[in-house]
Structure 1
Amino acid sequence: MADAFLFKAELRKGTGTGDARRLRRAGKIPAVVYGGGAEPVALVLKHNEVVKKLENDATYSHLLTLDVEGREERVVLKALQRHPSRPVIMHMDFQRVSTSEKIRVHVPLHFINQETSVGVKKGGVITHNLVDVEVACLPDRLPEHIDVDMAEVDVGESIHLSDLKLPEGVEIVALLQGPEHDLPVAVIQPGRLAESAEGGG
């Protein structure tokens, strides 16, 4: 499984838009790695290899190993630029991580117990307001995803960021900015069945 999070790259020799176009035509992706107290380095990755790795959702919120011509670094995938109309990755940003410094990463939300939710059983419909959340933590604490348990949520009720159960040492960035940033994650709205039951048929 470790290999799933290993990205092989080469140092990028050229610069500029013309060079980036040439690389893309050759089936390669221009990229950059930065942070960690070192200079940014321009890289090139193979498009097909990257696409295969990105099929695993965990890649987006996992510590990765970046192998640059035999030299390995621990990184996270910070940004991914896709072509607006074609299935092509245009550019990638990697950020170096230090085991002693907190990182900020968007982690996907996994909604569980939706079918058996109190509100859904009454005919309510779940609306997802968020699909991921930005967390701050040390690299070795980074969760692959955060569960959102819908089991006890009734019609008209919602789950907020402050309701999420987080692993130890993990904080939600929005909540660090104050209680007014406690956004709703999911809400159960009345569906047709629930409305007709309330209206007496």
Structure 2
Amino acid sequence: MREVTSLAAAARVRAGKGTARKTRLDGRVPGVIYGDKKTPELISVESRELMKELHKGSFFSRLFDLDLGGRSERVLARDVQLDPVSDRPIHVDFQRVGKDSRIRVFVPVVFTDHEASPGLKLGGVLNVVRHEVEFYVNPELIPENISLSLAGMEITHSIHISAFNLPDSLKPVIQDRDFTVATIAPPSKAEEEKPKAEAAAAAAPAAGGKAAPAAAAGGKAAPAAAAAKPAAKPAGKK
């Protein structure tokens, strides 16, 4: 299960563009909490703290405890609006999650034992089709990731969701097919040609090094010999 992150928040009394603008000028990001069959609530969070959590990654699949002056709300981040120029957050939405609720959330996919894959050793490429997979899960049981070992996998091997040993708490949102998560693709033509080009480049200096002594010893340096002959006398002179 993921750790729950505490994040300080403050209640906002009024909505509206003017109030939201003032909130941002004060170094805070306006937001809202909704869900769990309760009335939506206007809040704000400190801009620097929100940026710090965004940069940690997996922001939308981590649980937060919003501290609202002594009252705590357990939530998931559902949306962050960014300024198109500065790329800083200007609004954030959180969804309340109850202990017995079941939510949809994306969970990162991790692959291990790359060095133990014969396909990758031969130059194959791990082509990840889904870096995250969406699941139904109890919010208290959201895992850090789902992982799979690549040991023994050959080129052209397809990795489907059924290959993962998923806990009973995780149910894929896609249920009508055993969807592909990744494949081990053959090396590209450029990669295949690279060893040949390197071998040819290595052989070229060796071949050139042998030619020089042969020319010196074999007497086939015709251009040099020709240059050594005296120039022909002009016609009519003795």
Q: The TM-score by the shorter chain falls in which range? A: 0.7 to 0.9
Whether contact under 8 Å (1:109, 1:147) holds in the other structure is yes
Q: RMSD across aligned C-alpha pairs, in angstroms?
A: 2.5
Count residues in correspondence. 192
Residue identity opposite 2:108 in structure 1: P
How far, CA to CA, are the matches of 1:8 and 1:189 in structure 2?
46
Residue identity opposite 1:168 in structure 2: D
* Counterpart residue number, 2:182: 186
- Which of 1 and 2 has higher RCO (CA within 8 Å, sep 6+)? 1
* Counterpart residue number, 1:40: 40
Shift of 1:16: 2.0
Q: 1:33 to 1:157 in 2, by over 3 A?
A: same
Which ranges of structure 2 fall in alignment gaps of 5 or more residues?
194-238
* Counterpart residue number, 2:5: 5
Q: Which has the larger radius of gyration?
A: 2
* Counterpart residue number, 2:224: none
> TM-score, normalization: structure 2?
0.71
Q: 1:78 to 1:152 in 2, by over 3 A?
A: farther
Counterparts of residues 162-201 of structure 1 (less than 5 Å) = 162-175=162-175, 178-179=176-177, 182-192=178-188
For 1:95-153, what per-residue CA distance to the aligned partner results, in whole angstroms no more than 9, with x for missing partners? 11111121111111222223432211111011111111111112222112111332233
For 1:168-201, what per-residue CA distance to the aligned partner results, in whole angstroms no more than 9, with x for missing partners? 31111112xx12xx332111111148856xxxxx
Q: Which portions of structure 1, spanning 4 or more consecutive aligned residues, are displaced by more than 6 angstroms?
A: none
Shift of 1:58: 5.1
Whether contact under 8 Å (1:78, 1:105) holds in the other structure is no
Q: 1:115 to 1:88 in 2, by over 3 A?
A: farther
How far, CA to CA, are the matches of 2:56 and 2:120 in structure 1?
30
Greater shift, 50-59 or 182-191, is seen at 50-59
Residue identity opposite 2:139 in structure 1: P
Shift of 1:51: 1.5
* Counterpart residue number, 1:112: 112
Whether contact under 8 Å (1:143, 1:167) holds in the other structure is no
The structure richer in helix per residue is 2
SS of the equivalent of 1:174 reads: coil
How far, CA to CA, are the matches of 2:4 and 2:161 in structure 1?
30
Which ranges of structure 1 fall in alignment gaps of 5 or more residues?
197-201
How far, CA to CA, are the matches of 2:61 and 2:114 in structure 1?
23
* Counterpart residue number, 1:158: 158
Shift of 1:3: 9.0
Residue identity opposite 1:139 in structure 2: P
* Counterpart residue number, 2:134: 134
Residue identity opposite 1:184 in structure 2: T
Q: 1:86 to 1:159 in 2, by over 3 A?
A: farther
* Counterpart residue number, 1:55: 55
How far, CA to CA, are the matches of 2:159 and 2:126 in structure 1?
11
> TM-score, normalization: structure 1?
0.83
